[in-house]
Amino acid sequence: MRRKKLPPDFYLRENVLQITKELIGKYLVTNFDNTITSGMIVETEAYNGPIDKASHAYNNRRTKRNEVMYAQGGVAYVYLCYGIHHLFNVVTNQKDTPHAILIRAIVPAVGINKISERRNAKTITKKTSDGPGTLSIALGIKTIHSGISLSGNQIWVEDRGVKFNKKDILTSPRIGVDYAGEDAKLPYRFRLKESIISDLIENAN
């Protein structure tokens, strides 16, 4: 199997929607305490910077929490949601253009035993990493990792040559962003068909 870490240029492009869709089928990998775990990315959401009312950086808002969104693309943005969930995002575009992509779901691929241990489960199921909070637990990602370069050796994204037909990737509005008004209806969420995800989960065990 061909395994190639995504190059820095992948993250520096202007079209956050294109990158968000292209991340479907890529593999999110972590290496903590010499233990590698990974999963195929099967659901993503785009956040289109200052013009997107759902974005933490809407209207160029800058805070201690979201400052990393203004870094040059290719770093992790991990924030705490509801005081419990560590949500992993990929920062894209050039410095000072705060685009970000929320990784919403993965299907475990490598380090199954460790992932199961982190999730207190005996086997891999749909619930193992079918949400942004659970996938971070599964891969060991926490807010302390915010700002880490995705070109490094702790968290990165790999292209393993997996390709899907356009019809296999569904497009819809984002989840949980009702506060964004009309922007909540934007088709910024991408997800593999459930039938494909189910097959991937079955093969993971």
Structural domains in the chain? 4-204 (3.10.300.10)
Q: Which residues of 19-54 are buried (b: 16+ CB within 10 A; e: fewer)?
A: bbbbbbbbbbbbbeeeeebbbbbbbbbbbbbeebbb
Dihedral pair phi/psi, residue 121, rounded to 5°: -135, 155
Torsion over CA of 66, 87, 31 and 15, rounded to 10 degrees?
Answer: -70
14 Cβ contact list (under 8 Å, min separation 6): 93, 94, 97
pLDDT tens for the chain, 205 residues long, are: 678 999 999 999 999 999 999 999 999 999 999 999 999 999 999 999 999 999 999 999 999 999 999 999 999 999 998 778 999 999 999 999 999 999 999 999 999 999 999 999 999 999 999 999 999 999 999 999 999 999 999 999 999 999 999 999 999 999 999 999 999 999 999 999 999 999 999 998 8
- Strands 27-32, 169-172: pairing kind: unpaired
69 DSSP assignment: G
Residue 164 tokens, joined: 């899907």
Q: How many CB atoms lie within 10 A of CB 175?
A: 14
| Residue 115 Cα distances to 61, 138, 159, angstroms | 36, 5, 21
SS3 199: helix
The amino acid sitting at 178 is D
The amino acid sitting at 85 is H
Residue 28 tokens, joined: 């999110």
